[in-house]
């Protein structure tokens, strides 16, 4: 993917000036009609990763073709939507692979299953063996689909027992990750969770010192805790992927950027100054009355100015 750069001139620069003056984009419940040409720059499309959310689009192979027609090049998949990783899902990995190939889409990241025994720090034995098997299979499936990384959750709350359990699981998963050449990213979680504080993840990264282990910086979760700037400053060198979404600071709403209270220009600018040049990964859900085109346009409006390459010299 291309490197991030300075905002483009003209309309985009004026947009950022408005943001810095305190103006906020609204999220009207109006969809863009078919045939509208979106202002999607090549630089933005090279950096943008679209969230394939099966609860909105269960036939994810059909949805992959839909977003490819809008110009999307890179996607974010969830293990929840793949039949071999969750029996209730309706699309097997072979159909996903076919849709990716036909649409010329690349997978940047896969989100592993989470909750209960699927949390890396889970301490109860019920369902644990099956969860670990699924996690290992997720790494293999992600590698077969060409994904750069797989994102995992630690646990609902920190305890020494949860940390010990997570270490035991990471011992196993990192061996698979290295063998399959797919990176493992620990997600920054909501306040109160194991994974919500910098020291939760930094101690694991320091222990393993592995090029296959890094973090997924979830903007929405860190915004809830008021720690997004802290995460960027402390962990930018370890970021494998992002989860970009917004909220009003009170709960995890997964709104599109610009629909909540997160200061996007300040935080994206800080991230760029910290040296991050990776993808811009959506984990926003589609608001009522919107379609995929409207959602992508919102991302381009808010995040696009940081996608353009910096001018030489």
Q: Which residues are paired to 229 by β-bridges?
A: none
Residue 151: Cβ within 10 Å count: 27
The domain segmentation of the chain, as residue ranges, is 43-288+302-306
Instruction: Return the beta strands (E) in 86-182 as ranges.
Output: 106-111, 149-152
The reported pTM is 0.88
> Each residue's pLDDT tens digit in the chain (313 positions)?
433 232 233 333 333 333 333 333 446 443 333 334 555 789 999 999 999 999 999 999 999 999 999 999 999 999 999 999 999 999 999 999 999 999 999 999 999 999 999 999 999 999 999 999 999 999 999 999 999 999 999 999 999 999 999 999 999 999 999 999 999 999 999 999 999 999 999 999 999 999 999 999 999 999 999 999 999 999 999 999 999 999 999 999 999 999 999 999 999 999 999 999 999 999 999 999 999 999 999 999 999 998 877 655 4
Total number of residues shown for the chain: 313
- Structural element, H or E, at residue 62: helix 60-69
Rounded distance between C-alpha atoms, residue 93 and residue 82, angstroms:
6
- The CATH classification of domain 43-288+302-306, taken from the options 3.20.20.150, 3.60.20.10, 3.90.1150.10, 3.30.70.240: 3.20.20.150
Closest CA to 220 of 155, 140, 281: 281
């Amino acid at each position: 993917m291309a490197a991030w750069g300075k905002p483009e001139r003209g309309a985009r620069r004026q947009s950022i000036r408005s943001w810095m003056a305190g103006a906020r984009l609204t999220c009207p419940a109006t969809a863009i009609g078919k045939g509208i040409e979106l202002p999607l720059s090549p630089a933005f499309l090279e950096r943008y990763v679209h969230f394939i959310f099966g609860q909105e689009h269960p036939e994810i192979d059909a949805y992959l073709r839909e977003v490819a027609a809008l110009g999307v090049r890179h996607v974010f998949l969830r293990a929840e939507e793949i039949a071999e990783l969750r029996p209730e899902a309706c699309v097997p990995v072979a159909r996903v692979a076919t849709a990716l190939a036909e649409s010329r889409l690349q997978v940047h990241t896969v989100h592993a299953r989470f909750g209960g025994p699927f949390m890396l720090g889970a301490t109860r034995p019920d369902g644990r063996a099956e969860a670990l098997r699924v996690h290992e299979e997720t790494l293999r499936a992600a590698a077969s689909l060409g994904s750069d990384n797989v994102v995992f959750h630690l646990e609902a709350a920190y305890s020494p027992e949860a940390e010990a359990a997570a270490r035991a699981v990471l011992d196993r998963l990192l061996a698979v990750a290295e063998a399959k050449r797919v990176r493992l990213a620990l997600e920054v979680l909501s306040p109160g969770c194991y994974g919500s504080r910098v020291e939760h993840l930094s101690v694991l990264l320091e222990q393993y010192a592995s090029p296959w282990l890094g973090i997924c910086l979830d903007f929405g979760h860190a915004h809830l805790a008021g720690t997004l700037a802290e995460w960027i400053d402390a962990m930018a060198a370890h970021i494998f992927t992002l989860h970009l979404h917004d909220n009003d600071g009170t709960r995890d709403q997964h709104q599109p950027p610009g629909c909540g209270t997160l200061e996007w220009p300040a935080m994206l600018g800080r991230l760029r100054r910290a040296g991050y040049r990776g993808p811009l990964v959506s984990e926003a859900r589609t608001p009522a009355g919107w379609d995929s085109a409207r959602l992508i346009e919102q991302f381009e409006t808010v995040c696009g100015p940081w996608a353009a390459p910096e001018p030489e010299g």
